[in-house]
Amino acid sequence: MTKFIYVINARGETEPFSCRKVLSSARRAGASHNTAKKIVNIIRKDVYPGIETQEIFEKIKQLLSRESPESAIRFSLKEAMAKLGPTGFPFEKYIGEIFSRHDFKVKLNQHIPGHCLTYEIDFLARKGKFIYIGECKYRNLPEGLVNPTLVLANYARFLDLKKGKFFNKKEFKNLKLRNLVVTNTKFGENAIKFARCIGATELLGWRYPKSGGLEYLIDSQNLYPITILPSLSPGLASAFVSKKIMLVEDILKLDIEKFAKKMKISPAKLNQLTREAKILFK
């Protein structure tokens, strides 16, 4: 009979340790199959009953740093997403940038009247015959699931907006209105169940939908936030945000000497970030 080792996940729950999860997480970060298997064999020997999944995460990242540095940086994507808020780096602006790079026309922080009330909308994203009313729900902890109550409230707002005069203007007549909730973490089971049942609300989060979650939209076009770079300090993050630099690829476009002088930043620090950016895109 197979003896399971139980670990403690980010929500404080116990679950069986899974070699498959370690293998798939390393592979998703870009490690080769052989490298991922090597990491699994090392981790399997190190795990003990009651170990926290965060400790396993750190061990995987350390091993990736030695075997595949670019994969180690990509492996930190979820952690990087959790750093968006505390650095003054608005989550909705980052999401707006992702949609823009996927050929949507995006407007941020719109005040739109519904039938009963006026609402502040995080973003409107328009592409072809579709226009999405986007609501961003940022969580700075990995266990911060989006619950059904939030999705239900968002749906009620959508119905009021849909009934109002704004979206009944002539310019929207031939467009299909969609409701969208975006989070940097995961949706609770009942939140997903409600959205599927009602049909008028779409969800976009970590590994949801399975056919292309938020991490897929990021990975598919290398739209990594600057917070994924290991050497990024809060001070540097603030300097970049003040100049609307949100993506790692934007750092590679900088004139380092000129930017360093203008922002009174050490060129050495910027050069280090540039080196890390190049490793990421290797």
- 80: in domain: no
Q: The domain spanning residue 210 has which CATH number?
A: 3.40.1350.10
Are the beta carbons of 279 and 73 closer than 8 angstroms? yes
* Domain co-membership, 169 together with 131: yes
* pLDDT per residue rounded down to tens, the chain (282 residues): 346 899 998 888 899 999 999 999 999 999 999 999 999 999 999 999 999 999 999 999 999 999 999 999 999 999 998 888 766 568 999 999 999 999 999 999 999 999 999 999 999 999 999 999 999 999 887 667 899 999 999 999 999 999 999 999 998 888 999 999 999 999 999 999 999 999 889 999 999 998 889 999 999 999 999 999 999 998 888 889 888 899 999 999 999 999 999 999 999 999 999 999 999 998
- Parent domain of 182: 91-220
- 190: in domain: yes
Domains of the chain: total = 3
**Cβ of 105: how many Cβ atoms within 10 Å?**
11
- 262: in domain: yes
Residue type at 94 in one-letter notation: Y
Residues 51-82: tens digit of each pLDDT:
999 999 999 999 999 999 999 999 999 999 88
* Domain co-membership, 95 together with 216: yes
- 82: in domain: no
Are the beta carbons of 115 and 156 closer than 8 angstroms? no
pTM of the model: 0.89
